[in-house]
Amino acid sequence: MSSLPSLSSSRSDAPGCALPAPSTAGRPLRLALCLSPLLVAAVWGLTNQSLLYEGAGRLAGAEPAWLLAAGGVTCLTWVLAACMRQGAVPDPLPPGLLLASQFAAGAANHALPAGLGAHAVTVRFLRTRGVPLNRATSSIALYSVAKSAAKTVVLIGFLVSSSAWRRLGELLPDGAVLIPVAAVLTLVGVATAVVRPLRRPITGLVRSALADARTVHARPARALALWGGATALPLVQASALACTGQALGLGLPWGTVVFAFLAGGTAGGAVPVPGGVAVDAALVITLAAFGSPVAVATATVIGYRVITDWVPLLPGALVLSAMIRAKAL
């Protein structure tokens, strides 16, 4: 009988006989991912206290009906973004989770510039839905192309139908600014064409994007969701700015505010900084160029950011953390 314990212990030490212990290696990482959106929101709020106080003070004296209208219009932007994301992939996606992912993606955009936070959240969401990585990345490219192309078409439409663009001549950059930008783009293009480690993944991405684009455009519902959402998105975003301007007494007609949003957003969006700081500065300058007092234009842009970004920031971070915890991201 005395040999039984040693026999039992020897069997437990034998390879393949011991029961595997539950793995806890990934728990700290997942906990960190769940808490990181809340940490980003807290740090952003602490470092932008003056903007928060100023924006809240301005909004306290604004017309609440127009502010509610701006909030309602802002909710439509997440619906349109979800439509575009669905239109960019052939695979069917769950509407509720897709909409929640786009709401959460707004919070991620405060941590990374140029929309990279939203794209990263979307890629992760698509991967959890079984979409291969190359096709998920291709959908981001198709989404970005449709968004930029549709916004450009809308901007050209306003340029053709309105004479207000003449006031923006002084805001256009001169050749001294455009030359280095063109030089950098040329170097990137040459490096991509010459360096093989860069050429192979980019070539594969382009092929996958073209294949998915053909598949998507062969389905009218997908194409309508992609291009219809891309066309309506800048108009809805500009309408939120116009409603905020009405609440604060901006004094500019809707068409002028929409054109200012398109022009200022295009100029400011070329600067890759998180939080839309460059876009905000460009919007203030553009609204002032159209005749609005600088103080009112500044208050309008701050109020617009409060409604569209700052108010949804904490709920979006909570949704992002919840989706990570539920392994939906």
Please give the pLDDT value at position 27.
Answer: 63
Q: Is residue 16 scored above 80 in pLDDT?
A: no
The residue among 3 and 283 whose pLDDT is bigger is 283
Rounded Cα–Cα distance for residues 295 and 248 (Å): 11
Whether the pLDDT of residue 21 is over 60: the answer is no
How far is residue 207's CA from residue 48's CA, in Å, rounded to a whole number? 43
Instruction: Dump pLDDT digits (tens) for 51-86.
Output: 566 656 666 778 889 999 999 999 999 999 999 999
| Residue 7, pLDDT above cutoff 70 | no
Nearest to 245 by CA among 235, 258, 232: 258
d(CA 271, CA 71) in angstroms, rounded, equals: 27
Q: Which of 236, 217, 87 is nearest to 154 (CA)?
A: 236
Judge whether residue 207 has pLDDT over 50.
Answer: yes
Tens of pLDDT, residues 124-136: 999 999 999 888 9
Whole-number pLDDT of residue 176: 44
Distance (Å, whole) CA 315 – CA 38: 9
Structure tokens at 165: 């663009």
Q: What are phi and psi of 119, to 5 degrees?
A: -65, -40
The structure tokens listed for 45 are: 């709020």
Query: pLDDT for 249-278, tens place per residue?
Result: 888 999 889 888 988 777 545 444 444 566
- pLDDT-based confidence at residue 159 (cuts at 50, 70, 90): confident
Tell me the average pLDDT across 292-308: 86
pLDDT tens for each residue of 212-243: 788 888 999 999 999 999 999 999 999 999 99
Which residue, 214, 183, 191, is CA-closest to 90? 214
Q: What is the largest CA-CA distance in the chain?
A: 100
Mean pLDDT, rounded, for 305-319: 87
What global pTM score does this model have? Answer: 0.73
Q: Which has the minimum average pLDDT: 43-52, 143-152, 315-324?
A: 43-52
